[in-house]
Structure 1
Amino acid sequence: MRKIEALILDWAGTVVDFGSVAPTSIFVKAFKQAFDFDVSIDEARAPMGLGKWDHIKTLSQLPAVSARWQAQFGSAMDDSVVDEIYATFMPMQKAIVAEFSTPIPGVLDCLNWVREQGIKIGSCSGYPREVMEVLVIAATSKGYTPDCWVASDDLAAGSRPGPWMALQNVIELGINDVANCIKFDDSLPGILEGLHAGMWTVGIAVTGNILGLTEDEWHVLAADKQAELREKAHQTLLAGGAHYVVDSLADAIPVIQQIQARIAGNERP
């Protein structure tokens, strides 16, 4: 079979939540509420794409964050502290995630075209299952329903940057060859997930975590500033291994067609 069988899509910053705002803002609030400890939005974005417990752990190990934590508390953060921050994060995230469930402009049109081509739509996320259960219901009410979804805590093997969530989509969708799948993601761990799973990978530059701007914040920027930030995001994702990069999933049809042509020519990722 020499055709695209499925797209495997990330959620926040890729399909919904322009700028991937929901998770980053809650990480900042969770650290503050649990331990009266300050992390910046930029610091909170650094590990984006990982499962949320791993995200908190990785965030705590950033040199600047670790140094501030040790100065404030006299020792390094251990896993019990990560557990407490995660326990604080979870109800806060569930409370607001539905507010960030609106599909990014143009994405549903692209996915309607994808379905017309007979391509299946899988998905996975750095969100754990109890958050995803809220998000999936909210997104369904707004027109987005993938053929399957996998949460970061569903699999014993783990989550990103490993291949397991993407490969679980392959199993659930009945895909014949991982090389007939395209993984779309706005984070570097998500791109690695696709690469490790043997898939074509496409980075999402403008609507995702690397820029971290809401739709309104993006559109008020001057054209030269947009061009500068766009180029930086494209280069970051390409350096992370993405085969292609688009500004938004809404712009992805030409890239999907290019990959289809390469698959038809018997190329593999």
Structure 2
Amino acid sequence: MISMTATPLPAELEAVIFDWAGTLVDFGSFAPTRVFVDAFAQFGMEVSLEQARGPMGVGKWDHIRALCDEPAIANQYEARFGRLPTDDDVTAIYERFLPMQLEKVAQYSAAIPGAAELLRALRRQGLKIGSCSGYPSSVMRRVVERAAAEGLEPDCIVASDDVPRARPAPAMALKNVVELGISDVAGCVKVDDTAPGIEEGRRAGMWTVGLLLSGNAAGLALDEYLKLDEAGRQQARERARRELSPAGPHYLIDTVADLPAALADVQARLAAGKRP
């Protein structure tokens, strides 16, 4: 067998692929977490916002499965129903969750400050704009409808049930690559506020940017964020950094408003022949 060293393939920045809740809309990612709490309450279980945030980023059925696997929640279920929650029980909770999510999601899905301006700037640069979400397509339709009214209209939208396996697998990010006609995954940047979303981008061979303050990791409502002094923001950054760093993001920034500097660095690294 002859071993050869491959020459690095050249690539140019072509696209940015965004998550939705906590990234483009819903500062603090409250729409899914609050509804998880309410859905479990209908089955007589008490789930805190902090617990509900734990598996954020994966598909919603998988999220409920992960919550049901937590001993504190599984024990509540067993005390009430006499058994640990099965996949059928998870589906029952999901089926209760989904209509509640459909009812509430638009209410919480205001555009994150700077997001619409960023997308316009990316288009002026000739970049394509993709997106994907842990929401199923029925929920995404509600999110997209409100987002469009606020100037957020990506070129591609992929929901968790549009692929056989959602995050942290790379399928949603790679479906964007196919739909957008991208020539090289190294020319794509995945932007997300959760560890599974960052992992998705890395598994897809993309540059990845984690968001420290606008999403699930910090868990701050917009008004809470705006009231923080710099010391308070630094504490929130460190809390989010501990959650996101194990996924290995290439960059960590506060919100999408800070993305241009990271993209400029990616462009410079690509021009120097580097790849993710």
Measured against the shorter chain, the TM-score band is over 0.9
Per-residue deviation, 1:69: 2.6
1:38 partner letter: E
* Contact 1:93–1:131 (8 Å) recurs in 2: yes
Output the amino acid matched with 2:11: R
Q: 1:85 aligns with which of 68, 71, 93?
A: 93
Corresponding residue of 2:220: 213
Say if 2:131 is the partner of 1:123. Answer: yes
3-state DSSP of counterpart to 2:130? strand
Contact preservation (8 Å) 2:188, 2:206 = yes
Superposed CA offset, 1:162-215 (max 9, x none): 000000000000000011100000001101100110100000110000111110
Secondary structure (helix, strand or coil) at the match of 1:7 reads strand
Aligned position for 2:4: none
Q: Which residue of 2 aligns with 1:53?
A: 61
Where does 1:35-74 land on structure 2 (aligned, <5 Å)?
A: 35-74=43-82
CA distance in 1, matches of 2:95, 2:76: 22
Aligned position for 2:142: 134
Counterpart residue number, 2:13? 4
Shift of 1:221: 3.0
Query: Counterpart of 2:187?
Result: 180
Asked if residue 16 in structure 1 is aligned to residue 25 in structure 2, the reply is: yes
Task: Judge conservation of contact 1:238–1:244 (CA < 8 Å) in 2.
Answer: no
In the TM superposition, what is the alpha-carbon distance from 1:80 to its structure 2 partner?
1.2
1:96 equivalent to 2:135? Answer: no
How high is the TM-score relative to the length of structure 1? Answer: 0.96
* Root mean square deviation of aligned Cα: 1.2
Q: Hey, what's the Cα distance between the residues in 1 that align with 2:12 and 2:59?
A: 31
- Find out whether 1:191 has 2:198 as its counterpart: yes
The residue number in structure 1 matching 2:3 is none
State the 1:64 CA deviation: 2.3
CA deviation vs aligned residue, 1:96-116 (integer Å, no higher than 9, x gap)? 111122211112222221111
Give the distance between the partners of 2:55 and 2:215, measured in 1 at CA: 13
Q: In 1, are the aligned partners of 2:77 and 2:85 still within 8 Å (CA)?
A: yes
The one-letter amino acid paired with 1:32 is A
TM-score of the superposition, structure 2-length normalised? 0.94
Matched position secondary structure for 1:182: strand
Post-superposition Cα deviations, 1:15-63, rounded to whole Å, max 9, x if no partner, equal: 0000001000000001112x12111100000000010000000111123
Structure 2: 5+ residue stretches without partners = 1-9
Separation in 2 of the partners of 1:101 and 1:225? 25
Q: Which amino acid aligns with 2:95?
A: A
Asked whether the 8 Å contact 2:115–2:152 carries over to 1, the reply is no
1:39, 1:28 → 2: CA distance?
A: 5
Alpha-carbon distance between aligned partners in 2 of 1:236 and 1:134, rounded to the nearest angstrom: 29
Higher gyration radius (CA): 2
The answer to which of 73-82 and 166-175 deviates more is 73-82
1:112 to 99, 120, 124: 120
Provide the C-alpha distance between the structure 2 equivalents of 1:75 and 1:265, rounded to a whole number of angstroms: 58
8 Å Cα contact 1:7/1:181 also seen in 2: yes
Q: Is the 8 A contact 1:10 1:123 kept in 2?
A: yes
Matching of residues 158-177 of structure 1 within 5 Å: 158-177=165-184
Q: Which moved more, 1:237-246 or 1:173-182?
A: 237-246
CA distance in 1, matches of 2:153, 2:229: 35
